[in-house]
C-alpha cells in the first residue's frame, strides 16, 4: 500500500539544482497515435479493420493479415499481470536517479501482451490489473499497470507522481483571482493540497466580490499582476518566479462581438493584449525559471496551464474577435509546449465551452459552472494530460471539428445569433 507523501523539506540553497534528464523519448510516427490518445487521457491500441486483430506494439501493417487498415481504438485495460521485476540498477540517467522501479508483463483480456510500469499498490504476480496510458516526462505515452481497486494514497506513488503534475505540496500561480473561474481554481487547488497559491489581481484598488474570501485562506497570497503591463509581469517573475511550480494562466478579456457589431479595433486589441500577448509576456518572464527547476525533487516545477476556449478551434461569429484571440493563444501555446518539452514541463491547454458567467449570460444551457471547470483542471493536472475539453458543449464541438472542420464552420456561420 502506498504511503502518504510527506511534505518535502526546504531546499538547501547551497546545493546545485538538478537538471532534468528525460526518459527515452524516440518514437516512430506510427507509435505517436498512442501518445495522441494519452495526451487526452485515453488508452488506445491499433485494431485491424480487415480482420479485427488487436496489436501491440504499434506497426504499419496488421501482424495477422498484413492489412494497412489500422485504426486506434480505446481499450478498457483489464488484464493479468504475468510477471514483474524491480529494477535496482539502470544505465539510463532518468531511471538511475529514480530507482527502484517496477516493470512487468500484462496479458490483456483483449489479447495483446504488454510491457508496463507497475504501480506500487499492485501485488506480486499473478495479479489482476488495469492498464492505463500516461504521458511520461518526455511527453510520450507509456503504459502503467494499476490495481483494480484504487486507494486513498494512490496518487502519491513515486512513479505515478513522475507521470503527473499533482498540485499536492506544490506552489501555484493563478494569474487572475477576480473572476468566478479564478476563484474556483484557487479553492480547487487548495483542496488538492497546494502548499501555496499566489493569486494575481490587476487594478488592486477595485473591490471585487469573492477576492477577500479567497485571500483569507491560509494558503493564498495576493500579488499585483497585470498581464497587459510588461513591467508588472517582470517584477512578479523576479519576486516569485523561482518558487512557482505550476502556472495557471486564466486571465482573459472576453467580449461578445464580431467584426461588424462594433466599430474600431479597441476591443479586439484589448482581447489580444491579454489573451495572446499576456500569455507571451508571462511565458517570457516565468518560463526560464520554471524550466530550470523541473527536476527539483518531489515538489519540482511541473506544469503550465492555459485556459483557452473551444472557440479557438473554429470561430464562433457572435464572439468573433474573442474567438480569434483564443485561436492565436492556442497557436502560441503549441509553441510553448514545444519549448518546455526538453525540460519535462507539461503544457496543458483547457478548451471549455461557454462558462456560466456574465459574458455568457445570454447563451442558452448547457453551460459549464466555474467549479466544474476548476475540478476538470485539477483532475487533468493529477493525471498529467495535455488537452482537456470540459463540458458537453466542448465535447460536441471537438467531435464535430474532428469529423469535418469545414462543415462545423458552415454550421456556425448559419447560426450567427446562437
pLDDT at 8: 79
Tell me the β-bridge partners of 220: 197
In angstroms, the CA 43 to CA 129 distance is 14
pLDDT of res. 306:
98
Cα–Cα distance for residue pair 119/140, rounded to 1 Å: 18
The b/e string for 1-40 (b: 16+ C-beta within 10 A; e otherwise) is ebeebeeeeeeeeeeeeeebbbbeeeeeeeeebbbebbbe
3-state secondary structure 196-220: EEEEEECCCCCCCCCHHHHHCCCCE
Could you tell me how far CA 8 lies from the centroid of its own chain? 23
Nearest CA to 299 among 7, 3, 1, 2? 7
pLDDT at 415: 67
Say what the pLDDT of residue 119 is: 95
Sketch out the chain's domains with CATH numbers: 32-163 (no CATH), 171-413 (3.40.50.720)
Low-confidence ranges of the chain (pLDDT < 70): 1, 204-208, 415-418
DSSP state at residue 110: T
Handedness of CA 137, 140, 146, 149 (dihedral sign): positive
pLDDT one-digit tens code per residue, 345-385: 999 999 999 999 887 887 888 999 999 999 999 999 999 99
Which of 173, 340, 170 minimizes the C-alpha distance to 240? 173
- What's the confidence (pLDDT) of residue 205? 66
* Closest to 132 in 3D by CA, of 151, 148, 121: 148
- Euclidean distance between CA atoms 346 and 306, whole angstroms: 11
CB 63 within 8 A of CB 97: no
Q: How far is CA 217 from CA 190, 191, 267, in A?
A: 9, 11, 35
CA 29 to chain centre: 22
Strand order in the sheet with 44-48: 54-55, 44-48, 70-74
pLDDT for 9: 77
The pLDDT of residue 418 is 42
Please spell the DSSP secondary structure of 290-343, one letter per residue: HHHTTTSGGG---EEEEE--GGGTS--GGGHHHHHHHHHHHHHHHHHHHHHGGG
Cβ(153)–Cβ(5) below 8 Å: yes
Write down the H helix ranges in 97-217.
158-163, 180-191, 211-215
- Summarize pLDDT for 285-313 with one digit per residue, the tens: 999 999 999 888 778 899 999 999 999 99
Amino acid at each position: 500500500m502506498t504511503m502518504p507523501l510527506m511534505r518535502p523539506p526546504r531546499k538547501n540553497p547551497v546545493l546545485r539544482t538538478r537538471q532534468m534528464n528525460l526518459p527515452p523519448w524516440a518514437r516512430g510516427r506510427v507509435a505517436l497515435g498512442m501518445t495522441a490518445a494519452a495526451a487526452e487521457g485515453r488508452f488506445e491500441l491499433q485494431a485491424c479493420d480487415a480482420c479485427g486483430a488487436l496489436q501491440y506494439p504499434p506497426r504499419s501493417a496488421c501482424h495477422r493479415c498484413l492489412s494497412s487498415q489500422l485504426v486506434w481504438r480505446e481499450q478498457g485495460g483489464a488484464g493479468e499481470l504475468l510477471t514483474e521485476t524491480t529494477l535496482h540498477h539502470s544505465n539510463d540517467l532518468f531511471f538511475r536517479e529514480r530507482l527502484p522501479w517496477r516493470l512487468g508483463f500484462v496479458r490483456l483480456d483483449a489479447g495483446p501482451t504488454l510491457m508496463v510500469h507497475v504501480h506500487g499498490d499492485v501485488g506480486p504476480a499473478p495479479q489482476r490489473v488495469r492498464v492505463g496510458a500516461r504521458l511520461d516526462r518526455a511527453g510520450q505515452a507509456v503504459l502503467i499497470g494499476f490495481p483494480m481497486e484504487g486507494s486513498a494514497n494512490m496518487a502519491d506513488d513515486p512513479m505515478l507522481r513522475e507521470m503527473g503534475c499533482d498540485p499536492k505540496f506544490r506552489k501555484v500561480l493563478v494569474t487572475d483571482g477576480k473572476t468566478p473561474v479564478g476563484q474556483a481554481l484557487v479553492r480547487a487547488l487548495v483542496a488538492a493540497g497546494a502548499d501555496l497559491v499566489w493569486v494575481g489581481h490587476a487594478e488592486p484598488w477595485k473591490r471585487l466580490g469573492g477576492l477577500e474570501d479567497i485571500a483569507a485562506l491560509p494558503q493564498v497570497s495576493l500579488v499585483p499582476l497585470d498581464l497587459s503591463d510588461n513591467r508588472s509581469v517582470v517584477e512578479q517573475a523576479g519576486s516569485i518566479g523561482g518558487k512557482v511550480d505550476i502556472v495557471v494562466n486564466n486571465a482573459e478579456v472576453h467580449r461578445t462581438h464580431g467584426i461588424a457589431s462594433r466599430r474600431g479595433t479597441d476591443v479586439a486589441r484589448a482581447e489580444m493584449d491579454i489573451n495572446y500577448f499576456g500569455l507571451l509576456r508571462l511565458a517570457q518572464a516565468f518560463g526560464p525559471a520554471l524550466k530550470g527547476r523541473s527536476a527539483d525533487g518531489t515538489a519540482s516545477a511541473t506544469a503550465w496551464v492555459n485556459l483557452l476556449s473551444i472557440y479557438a478551434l473554429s470561430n464562433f461569429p457572435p464572439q468573433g474577435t474573442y474567438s480569434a484571440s483564443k485561436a492565436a493563444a492556442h497557436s502560441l501555446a503549441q509553441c510553448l509546449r514545444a519549448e518546455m518539452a526538453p525540460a519535462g514541463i507539461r503544457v496543458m491547454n483547457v478548451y471549455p465551452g461557454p462558462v456560466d458567467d456574465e459574458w455568457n449570460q445570454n447563451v442558452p444551457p448547457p453551460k459549464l459552472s466555474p467549479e466544474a471547470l476548476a475540478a476538470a483542471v485539477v483532475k487533468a493536472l493529477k493525471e498529467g494530460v495535455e488537452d482537456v475539453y470540459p463540458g458537453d458543449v466542448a465535447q460536441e464541438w471537438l467531435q464535430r471539428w474532428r469529423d469535418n472542420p469545414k462543415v462545423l464552420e458552415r454550421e456556425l456561420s448559419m447560426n450567427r445569433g446562437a
